[in-house]
Amino acid sequence: MTDHPRIPLAGVLGHPVAHSRSPVLHGYWLRRYGLKGYYIPIDVAPADLGHVVRTLPQMGFVGVNITIPHKEAILEIADIVTDRAALIGAANTLIFRADGRIHADNTDGTGFIANLRQHAPHWAASDGPAAVLGAGGAARAVVAALLEAGAPEIRICNRTRPRAEVLRSDFGAKVVVDDWTQSSHMIQGCATVVNTTSLGMVGKPDLLVNLDYISPQTVVTDLVYTPLNTRFLAEAAAKGCTIVDGLGMLLHQAAPGFERWFGQRPEVDEATRQAVLSA
């Protein structure tokens, strides 16, 4: 037994996890606010996830982020799952409560909206239909968040169409599914266009969408943030659209966890972006 208060520990669980920017981000915030604590990457194989997560609180962990491939499986392990995490079907933030229960939340959607509000201040989800390219895990968080923020209609297309149909049946009649090959028509008249596919990421082919008919009033955003300025965003900017890169979503989705674990709401500002970009 000891009377010394424990230094709070947090981290990110993934497999692999070495690529994660979260340790740099949380480490920067810990230094910036002069807080005691550590945030580390933890590589956990899927078969070990339950055991590891249940052991972490005994080691002084106050919570963790969850990344690929554990975001869905963690819902089965958590004791409390927020409504939005249940609706999305995935969690990215765990809080280890003092009563021993594991609380799971998903902050990807709020991070997505906060990023748009910060970098396109005139934007509102209610401005018009939104087009979502892709129907993977990230798309589910984006669709949930756009609906909650007031988007009147969400048009989705995905290479594998049945995955988009699942989103329609899960999220209701405001969701409309189009063919992947119809993406350039689908975005016509949309106030918001979002790439949630991994196309455009370093090592992947570019996302190719004909933007000839896009209105310059459209706000175009990409969840990919390596590179920061994807070809898709560059082409949208050339059409006069407001563009928002994906790094801000990563930063904003991290803020609620940091606040819960370390007791300080962190600023998501240019200094934070630069700290992550320069690492």
Active-site residues, by number, are 71
Per-position x/- string for 85-114, each x denoting binding to ligand NAP as judged by CB under 6 A, each - no binding:
-----------------------x------
- Select the residue interacting with ligand NAP from 93, 107, 183, 196 (CB under 6 A): 196
Tell me the three state secondary structure of residue 157. strand
Q: Does 15 bind ligand NAP (CB under 6 A)?
A: no
Dist. CA 90–CA 73, nearest whole Å? 8
Q: Does 12 bind ligand NAP (CB under 6 A)?
A: no
We find the least distance from the C-beta atom of residue 250 to ligand NAP, in angstroms, to be 4
- Select the residue interacting with ligand NAP from 32, 159, 174, 231 (CB under 6 A): 159
Q: Does 223 bind ligand NAP (CB under 6 A)?
A: yes
Query: C-alpha dihedral over 117, 119, 120, 121, to 10 degrees?
Result: 60
Q: Does 189 bind ligand NAP (CB under 6 A)?
A: no
Q: Does 201 bind ligand NAP (CB under 6 A)?
A: yes
Dist. CA 144–CA 165, nearest whole Å? 15
Q: Which is nearer to ligand NAP, 190 or 199 (CB)?
A: 199
Record the tokens describing residue 52, joined without a space: 């590891």
Provide the CA 221 distance to its chain's centre, in angstroms.
13
Q: Which is nearer to ligand NAP, 9 or 194 (CB)?
A: 194
We find the least distance from the C-beta atom of residue 190 to ligand NAP, in angstroms, to be 18
Q: Which is nearer to ligand NAP, 160 or 217 (CB)?
A: 160
We find the least distance from the C-beta atom of residue 55 to ligand NAP, in angstroms, to be 26
Dist. CA 4–CA 209, nearest whole Å? 58
Query: C-alpha dihedral over 188, 189, 191, 196, to 10 degrees?
Result: -30
- Select the residue interacting with ligand NAP from 13, 30, 95, 199 (CB under 6 A): 199
> Which parts of 125-144 interact with ligand NAP (CB under 6 A)?
134-139
Q: Which stretch binds ligand NAP (CB under 6 A): 37-45, 75-83, 154-162, 230-238?
A: 154-162
The 8 Å CB, 24+ separation contacts for 93-99 are 93/63, 93/65, 93/66, 93/253, 93/256, 93/257, 93/260, 94/53, 94/63, 94/64, 94/65, 94/66, 95/62, 95/63, 95/257, 95/260, 95/261, 96/56, 96/57, 96/61, 96/62, 96/63
Residues that bind ligand NAP (CB under 6 A): 108, 134-139, 158-160, 163, 196-199, 201, 205, 223-225, 246, 249-250, 253
